[in-house]
Amino acid sequence: MTIPDSDSPKDQTIMSIMPGTIVTYPEDLKWEPVGPVDENGKGIFVSLIYGDLQTKGPTHFLMKYSAGVTAPPHIHTGDYYAVVVSGKFRHYLESENEYEVLTPGATWFQRGDVVHAG
């Protein structure tokens, strides 16, 4: 359900005006590269929803990978949950030879301080 908003050219959902709720529209996401971007603009990108990626503490963000791009093996200090929204994602388990191909709707939990790649 939407309601007209006289201060905005687009309608707002009722959720967007309820106290304590923030709605971010896809066109308002600000994508920043995480690591290198090749000459064709391919890379891994993040859009921060909540928190600060530079400091320790809770964060919520969206990530998108260009087709064919993978992250090298790495660790995070904290646990996280992830979901594939579109495309396919290779989540490497113990090595590059051991992986699962995840498709839209697939979720996974990654324990902190465990080496993984994707």
Kindly give, in sequence order, each residue whose CB lies less than 8 Å from that of residue 78, ignoring residues fewer than 6 positions away.
Answer: 112
Position 64 scores a pLDDT of 93
pLDDT digits (tens, 9 = 90+) for 64-105: 999 999 888 888 888 889 999 999 998 887 777 788 899 999
